[in-house]
Amino acid sequence: MTAKRSSLRIPAEANTAAWFFLAPALILIGIFFFLPVAASLLLSVTDFDIYGIANPGNTRFVGIQNYSKLLHTPDFWNALKNTFYFAFVGGPLTIAVSMGAALLLNSKLVRFKGFFRTLYFTPFVTTLVAVAIVWRYLYHTRYGLFNYGLSKIGIAPIDWLGDPHWAMPAIILMAVWKSFGYNMLIFIAGLQAIPEELYDAAEIDGASGWRRFWSITLPMLAPTLVFISVITMIGYFQLFAEPYVMTQGGPLRSTTSVVLLMYEEGFRWWRMGYAAAIAFVLFVVILIATLLQFRLQKDHT
């Protein structure tokens, strides 16, 4: 195979052709992604603001001033805390629900799997802004269906989006609904890859359903679980549209996320140097979370 490959000389045209094939993608990604990312780091050490937009000459180098200001601003810590809350409560909850749904749909006892799978997956493909608006009305204290349902079982109305303690849980519930179907599909693929013989052997040994889940299913799903945890966390750290549409970051800034703060600082108040520093902190947080999860996986196996 290799001998054959090397015996066939690659003509110089092939090299040129390859770069020709790559050029559009590399130029676009270079100019519109890598260049801005690098520029973002530069921007974060300047005081680029509305005067800078009028005339970039008004911009000065300020060193790490934006970063130190950030660390001394309660609003930033609050946004970070909210984002962590969303990611570390919403993430595991989403994963648990998706795994439950995948186990249900993988059971040998049920039929119409394709039908249920499609229904469960549908929320994932919907437009986030549109469903966030729908949920805002479902959460309405007086007229919303949720509080009506709760009143039927004797629970007093909850001010879902108006109470600082409930606003984030409300957003988390919606996020779980919106995204569990995607993880569910990946879990189903993972479950289907587990060899049937393992379960047969366990059954002969008389292992109970729980026992089989803990000692076969879960360990065999570990790589899938890490993959899902990583992508779910990365996605959840980028929380933006839900609070933008449902709560505008309130009440009392209880749902202001890091990305929402970056958007407000950068694109509403045009403090772009400061906003770039926020974006970089977000990147570092995501990077650390990703590396941690891979490390956990490594320690575990």
Partner 1 sequence: MQSARQRQQMIRILLYALLIIGAVMAMLPMIWMVSASLMPSGEASTYPPHFFPSRPTLDHYRDLFIRLNLGRNLLNSAFVAFIVTFVSLLINSLAGYAFAKMRFKGRDRVFRILSAGLILPTQVAMLPLFLLLKQMHLINTYWGVIIPGLASIFGIFLVRQYALSIPDEMLDAARVDGASEFRIFRSIVVPGIMPILATLSIWTFLATWNDFMWPLIVLSDSSHYTLPVALANLTGEHVQDTELMMAGSVLTVIPVMVVFLFLQRYYMQGVMAGSVKG
> Which tokens is 184 given?
């569910």
Contact 158, 150 (CB under 8 A): yes
Q: Of 263, 266, 259, 276, which is closest to residue 43 (Cα–Cα)? A: 276
Contact 281, 73 (CB under 8 A): no
CB nearer to partner 1: pick between 20 and 214: 20
> Within 13 Å of residue 210, how many CA atoms lie on the same side as its CB?
0
Options 3, 55, 57, 109; binder of partner 1; rule CB under 8 A: 109
Interface residue with partner 1 among 90, 91, 243, 266 (CB under 8 A) is 266
Q: Which residue, 171 or 279, is less far from partner 1 as judged by CB? A: 279
Contacting residue, 3, 24, 63, 210, with partner 1 by CB under 8 A: 24
Structural tokens at position 86: 């969303």
Q: Which is nearer to partner 1, 168 or 278 (CB)?
A: 278
Do residues 172 and 132 touch, judged by C-beta distance below 8 A? no
- The CB-of-64 to partner 1 minimum distance in angstroms stands at 17
The structure tokens 């009506």 sit at 148
Cα 209 to Cα 199: distance, rounded to the nearest angstrom? 10
Of the residues 70, 79, 161, 272, which one makes contact with partner 1 according to CB under 8 A? 272
Residues 76-95, interacting with partner 1 (CB under 8 A): none
* Segment interacting with partner 1 (CB under 8 A) among 119-127, 161-169, 195-203, 211-219: 119-127
Among 78, 89, 93, 121, interactor with partner 1 by CB under 8 A: 121
Task: State the Cα angle at 39 between 284 and 265, rounded to 5°.
Answer: 70
Amino acid, single-letter form, for residue 15 = N
Which of 129, 155, 222, 292 forms a contact with partner 1 (CB under 8 A)? 129
Tell me which stretch binds partner 1 (CB under 8 A): 60-68, 73-81, 197-205, 286-294: 286-294
Contact 271, 75 (CB under 8 A): no
Q: Which of residues 40-59 bind partner 1 (CB under 8 A)?
A: 40, 43, 53
Q: Which of 196, 191, 185 is nearest to 222 (CA)?
A: 191
Query: What is the DSSP secondary structure assignment for residue 56, as one 8-state letter?
Result: G
CA distances from 1 to 6, 93, 215, 293 (A): 9, 49, 42, 39
Among 55, 63, 127, 153, binds partner 1 (CB under 8 A): 127
106 binds partner 1 (CB under 8 A): no
Q: Name which position in 163, 263, 293, 297 contacts partner 1 (CB under 8 A).
A: 263
Q: Which residues of 3-14 are buried (b: 16+ CB within 10 A; e: fewer)?
A: eeeeeeeeeeee
Contact indicator for 48, 59 with CB cutoff of 8 Å: yes
Contact flag: residue 292 with partner 1 (CB under 8 A): no
Residue 3 corresponds to which tokens in the numbers above? 């001998």
Residues between 134 and 193 that touch partner 1 (CB under 8 A): 134-138, 140, 142-145, 148, 177, 179, 181-182, 185-186, 188-189
Which residues ranging from 202 to 221 are in contact with partner 1 (CB under 8 A)?
none
Number of residues binding to partner 1, judged by CB under 8 A: 95
Positions 226 through 245 that interact with partner 1 (CB under 8 A)? 227, 231, 234-235, 237-238, 240-241, 244-245
Q: Is 10 in the site for partner 1 (CB under 8 A)?
A: yes
